[in-house]
Amino acid sequence: MRKDTLQDLPLGTSSFEALREAGEIYVDKTDFIFRLASKRRKLFLTRPRRFGKSLLISTLESLFKNGLQYFRNLKIEKLWKDERTYNVVRLDFSEIRDFRSSDEFAKKLTALIARKFNPVGLKYQISELFSMSDQLSDCLATLPTNSLVLLIDEYDAPLTACLNDFKLFDEVRLKLASFYAALKANEAAFRFIFITGITTFNKTSIFSELNNISDISLSPEYGTLLGYTHNEVKAYFADYLVQSATIVKEKEEKLFAELARQYDGFCFDRDAFQKVFAPWSLLNFFEDPRSGFVDYWFESGGKPNVLQKYLQSHSLRNPEEYGKEKTVSINVLSGASDPNSLSDIGLLTQTGYLTIKKVEGETVYVGYPNSEVRTAMAQLYIEQLLAGKTLEQAGADRIVHRLETKGAESIVCMLNRLFASLDYVNYPVRNEASLCAFIQVFFSGAGLEPIVEHHNAHGRSDLEVRAGEKVWLFELKVAKEGENSERLLREAIEQIRERRYGYSLLDKTLIRVALVFSLEKKEFIRWKAFA
């Protein structure tokens, strides 16, 4: 099947009407759209970047502005009975994320509101007596009941822009609250309000002026509103699965399982039941399957602005915790009250680096949704471990290729270059656990999936990693000042043999390596490799 015979992919299309006119694939979510829009409501939704929030906003805009004109043969066509059309105001707060002062922000906010509300009657005039909020309120008061729809995209962009400046954050928050107060004072005018973004700042009082706004971010009813389910991928992209399987010379079932491992696993459901694929990554794979399983999500700017701002004045949890189970309160996921109360785990979950795995009472267990994000997270930790350097800058380029083609000496030299670049002030090697965790992060950042403390009937090996046809097994020892490194090396070798580490992998090309790291010299000083 040739690509030019397939229906076009909606890659990078955020306009619903443009998508429909171009005949691109539209994964029909309009039954959700109906549930959202059929009643007079005020709704709030957060999702990570690249999950289709802007397309959702555009779809709602088209429905309210033009009725069913662009919804032919979609689920909502038989459900929607509202024959009215509405004035729609769509605000994208990412347009006003760049400012240096509260006055500059106020001017940009005023200009945006004046421009977007002008078609519904707002004639803004500069006045010392009547603020923008006052004039907006007066305008809204003249509108017929239930005549206006308000859609706000990236509501949190101005707040995340000043996350590290508490004073400016509060000033911006107050100006936004004044805007929302004008909406509250005239809520009779609104048929529907929908607000979306990445981060949940709904406890910062900006929405306190809006009565009865419903946060559906963790609602099981809307867990698959954005992203693609397994059934949706198989139904809407069946031809692309066939084509991709042919190109990569793989069976469809195996290819789908690999796609799921790489790009699936996101859960936005407080019941921890429903999972979805990241649409951006999946669509990019279908566009170019020959390139393989590229980390599209991270490469397209995988560090959201809110996370960048957070990392300027905070660090993530110790990289030693990279592979450990993480928990967070459900209340933390449902909102922050101020920048100081931001939780790194909560923030990483909202931005898509972690996702809901299970929920027990008020405790949410979170973890990496898939291989793509696991790699991205490791790269964030590497930035911390290496004080801003990349693996390549630290002399560890092409780690996967080295493990596939080189011997143990080359690997030990590479590891020593990495540990020579380590930020020992903040992340010292203290023991075997921290040593193992740092190597795990390095390998994971290169796109590998190392296993720490792999169980067998006789014990746990420190670290195993597969690269191509090779499986590397590492047993690590740490030598304190004055400690006999030769004895430690013998212990590591004996431990590998006596506990039969790697025994179940003898059908593979197995390389077992015993390593001794000197805390004094900050490098591996003894090693031995054997099959």
For 303-337, the pLDDT digits (tens) are 788 888 888 777 788 888 898 889 999 988 887 65
Rounded CA-CA distance 313/159 in Å is 15
Count CB neighbours of 99 within 10 A.
18
460 pLDDT more than 50 = yes
Distance of alpha carbon 373 from alpha carbon 322, whole angstroms: 12
- What are the two backbone dihedrals, phi and then psi, of residue 500, each rounded to the nearest 5 degrees? 55, 45
Q: What is d(CA 194, CA 450) in angstroms, rounded to the nearest whole number?
A: 43
Choose among 388, 435, 387: nearest CA to 415. 435
Contact 60, 151 (CB under 8 A): yes
Helix (H, G, I), strand (E, B), or coil: what is residue 128? Answer: coil
Q: Which sequence spans correspond to the domains of the chain?
A: 3-217, 223-381, 386-530
Residue 285 and residue 258: Cα distance in Å, rounded? 12
- The CATH architecture to which 386-530 belongs is 3-Layer(aba) Sandwich (3.40)
In angstroms, how far is CA 299 from the centroid of its own chain?
12
**pLDDT at residue 301 greater than cutoff 90:** no
pLDDT band at 286 (very low <50, low <70, confident <90, very high): very high
What is the model's pTM?
0.93
Q: What is the pLDDT of residues 224-242, one digit of tens each?
A: 999 999 999 999 999 999 9
pLDDT for the residue 457:
46
Least confident stretch, 150-154, 214-218, 469-473, 506-510: 506-510
Tokens of residue 345, six digits: 């785990």
The letter for the amino acid at 149 is: V
CB 311 within 8 A of CB 353: no
How far apart (Å, rounded) are the C-alpha atoms in residues 432 and 439?
11
pLDDT, tens digit, for every residue of 486-523? 999 999 999 988 887 766 655 578 899 999 999 999 99
Give 138's pLDDT tier (boundaries 50, 70, 90): very high
Q: Do 333 and 242 contact (CB within 8 A), yes or no? A: no
* pLDDT of 485 higher than 70: yes
Round the CA-based radius of gyration of the chain to a whole number and report it.
27
Q: Which CATH class is domain 3-217?
A: alpha beta
Tell me whether domains 3-217 and 386-530 share a fold. no
State the Cα–Cα distance between residues 288 and 224, nearest whole angstrom. 25
How many angstroms separate the CA atoms of 464 and 446, rounded? 15
